Amino acid sequence: MENVRSLLLTVIEISTMVLASLILLGLLAIGIIFILDVSQRQQAIRRNYPVIGRLRYLMEHLGVFFRQYFFAMDREELPFNRAQRSWVARSAKNIDSTIAFGSTKPLNTPGSILFLNSMFPQLEDEQTEVQRRPIVFGEGFAQKPYATYSVFHISAMSYGALSAPAIRALSLGASSANILLNTGEGGLSPDHLAGNCDLVFQIGTAKYGVRDSHGDLCDIKLAEVAGQDAIKMFELKLSQGAKPGKGGILPGKKVTPLIASTRGIPIGEDSISPNRHKDIASIADLLKMIARIRRVTEKPTGIKFVLGQSDWLDEFCREIHHLGLEFAPDFITLDSADGGTGAAPQSLMDNVGLPVEFSLPLVVDKLTEYGLRARIRLFASGKMVTPSGVAAALCLGADCVNTARGFMFSLGCIQALQCNKNTCPTGITTHDQDLQKGLDPTSKSTRVASYATHMRREVSVMAHSCGVVNPQDLDREHAYIVSDAGLPEPLLKRYPKVETNADFDMTVAKP
C-alpha cells in the first residue's frame, strides 16, 4: 500500500512539473508572439491588439469552411448552394433524390426558368428507345464524324489543374456512362486514356501537347494525337468564362515532371498561356485554323469561347459563307461568364463576359439567321449542374451541355475553394500525394457515371412532363422566364425566334 502511495505521489509530482513546464513554455510563446506583433508594421490589428488580434485572421480563414455548414441557407450560398451540391451528391451516390413537403426554391427570382408541363404528358410506354436519335458532329465535312446520344458531358479540366486520380476517375466514369470527356488545354495524359472513353482534345493558346519548340502548332504532333482512337474531336479554345481575355494559369508547385512532359514545359515553373492564339488575328485566320486542324486530324473540330462583344458574329458567319462551309467549325462550345476554373483574377471572374442564359439564344439566333444552325452544333457550359440548368440550356437552343464542377462534386469536391493552392482536402485539384490517397479512382468513377445517368434520366423526366419524348426536342415554347418584376413571361417573348435570311438559306435554290 505504501508503494502505491509513493508511486502516486511521484506521478503527481511529475505531472505537476510537466504542467508547470507547459505553462511556462506557453507564457514564453505568448511573450514572443507579443513582441513580434508589437514590433511588426504590416498589420495594424496585430500591432494594436497583440496576440488576441491574431484571432481575427484565424476566424477569417476558418469562416470559409464553417459558412457552408452552419450559417448559409440551402439556396443562398455561392458559387453553388447546398441544395445544388446535395442533389449532385445524392445522384452520384445513387441515393433517392426525391424531397418532401415542398420546394425551398423561390419562384419569383428574376431570370429563373419555369418549365411548362403539358396537358397530356408522355406515358412511359411512349418513351421508347426508338425515339433516341444521335447528335452528329462533322457529318459531310470531317472524314471521321462523331455521334453521341447523350446531351450531357464532362467539360474541360486539364491534367495539372486536376490530379491524376481525378482524371482517371473521370475517364473510367465517362466510359461507363458513354459520355465525352474534354481533356482541357493541358495535353493528353495516360490517365485520360485509362477508361478508353471518348475524348475531346482541347488546344489552348499555348498549344500544350501539340506544340513545337517555339510554342507553335505542330502538324506532326497534332497527327500523332489524332492517331489515338479515343480522341473523337478537337476543340480550339479561344477563351473561357472564368477568365475571358486571360490565358490558363497553373502554379509552378503543380508542375510535376509528368505534367511538364505532357505539356512540353519546364518542371516547377508557372505555366501561363498567352491571352490569345498568336497565330490567329482575324476571323479568316480562325476559320483557316479550324480547317487546318480538321484536315490534319480528319476529325470534327470546333471552337470554345465566352461571348462578350458580339459584333464579330456577323463577320464570322459571313466569312464562313465566303470561304465555304468546310471552313465552319463543326461545333461551338459556348461558355458562361459564371464558369469556373482553378485560378483566375477576381476582376475577370466577377465582372467580364456574358452569362450563357443571355449569350446562348443570341448565338443560336445569329447562326439561324445565316443558315448555319444545322451545320454547327452547340455545347453550352457554365454552372449547369442540376437537371433544371441542363433543360433550360436545351430550351434556349443548345444541343448538349457540359459541366466541370458538377463532375468535381461527383468526385467528392466539398467546395473548399483551395483549387489554386495545391491543398485540396479531397485530392481532386492537388498533386500532394498524401492528399491524393483519399481519392480512389475506381469507386469515384462509379459516382461519375451515376451522376451522368441520373442527370439524363431527370432531364428526360422534365422533357416528358413538357410533352416531348426526347430532351433534344425541348424549345423556347416549353418554358417561361421570371422577369425583373418577379412575374413569369414566355421565353419566346424574351427571345423571339429568328427566321433564316433568304440570302443565306441553304435549303433554297439560288438563281
Residue 333 bridge partners (DSSP): 304, 379
Cβ atoms 481, 397 nearer than 8 A: no
**Residue 510 maps to a domain:** no
- Residues in CB range of 121: below 8 A, 6 or more apart: 464, 465, 466, 467
**Residue 106 maps to a domain:** no
As a whole number of angstroms, the distance between CA 424 and CA 127 comes to: 42
**Residue 29 maps to a domain:** yes
**Residue 93 maps to a domain:** no
Q: How many domains does the chain have?
A: 2
Query: Same domain for 178 and 304?
Result: yes
Query: Same domain for 399 and 279?
Result: yes
As a whole number of angstroms, the distance between CA 240 and CA 404 comes to: 12
Query: Same domain for 17 and 141?
Result: no
**Residue 507 maps to a domain:** no
Cβ atoms 355, 336 nearer than 8 A: yes
**Helix, strand, or coil here: 30?**
helix
Burial class (CB in 10 A: 0-12, 13-18, 19+), 116: middle
The model's pTM: 0.85
Query: Same domain for 23 and 164?
Result: no
Cβ atoms 278, 317 nearer than 8 A: no
Query: Same domain for 334 and 424?
Result: yes
**Helix, strand, or coil here: 234?**
strand
As a whole number of angstroms, the distance between CA 365 and CA 132 comes to: 25
Domain holding 310, by residue range, is: 134-465
The whole-angstrom distance between residue 17's C-alpha and the CA centroid of its chain comes to 57
**Which of 183, 216, 230, 192 has the alpha carbon at shortest distance from 402?**
183
**Residue 97 maps to a domain:** no
Query: Same domain for 254 and 173?
Result: yes
Q: Which of 16, 41, 71 is the last residue of a domain?
A: 71
Q: Which of 465, 480, 499 is the last residue of a domain?
A: 465
Amino acid at 34: F
As a whole number of angstroms, the distance between CA 158 and CA 473 comes to: 32
Query: Same domain for 60 and 183?
Result: no
10 grid coordinates: 511521484
Q: Which of 71, 86, 108 is the last residue of a domain?
A: 71
**Residue 126 maps to a domain:** no
**Residue 199 maps to a domain:** yes
Query: Same domain for 337 and 458?
Result: yes
Query: Same domain for 22 and 143?
Result: no
Q: What is the CATH number of the domain that holds 365?
A: 3.20.20.70
Query: Same domain for 447 and 313?
Result: yes
The whole-angstrom distance between residue 240's C-alpha and the CA centroid of its chain comes to 10
* pLDDT per residue rounded down to tens, the chain (511 residues): 677 777 777 778 888 888 888 899 988 988 898 888 888 888 877 887 888 878 776 776 666 666 666 656 566 666 777 788 888 888 888 887 777 777 778 888 888 899 999 998 877 776 555 467 899 999 999 999 999 999 999 999 988 888 999 999 999 999 999 999 999 988 899 999 999 999 999 999 989 999 888 888 999 999 999 999 999 999 999 988 777 777 767 777 778 887 877 787 788 877 777 888 999 999 999 999 999 999 999 999 999 999 999 999 999 999 999 999 999 999 999 998 887 776 677 777 778 888 999 999 999 999 999 999 999 999 999 889 999 999 999 999 999 999 999 999 899 888 877 787 788 888 898 888 888 888 889 999 999 999 999 999 999 999 999 999 899 999 999 999 999 888 999 999 999 989 898 778 765 444 3
As a whole number of angstroms, the distance between CA 495 and CA 157 comes to: 32
302 grid coordinates: 470546333
Query: Same domain for 310 and 190?
Result: yes
Query: Same domain for 358 and 247?
Result: yes
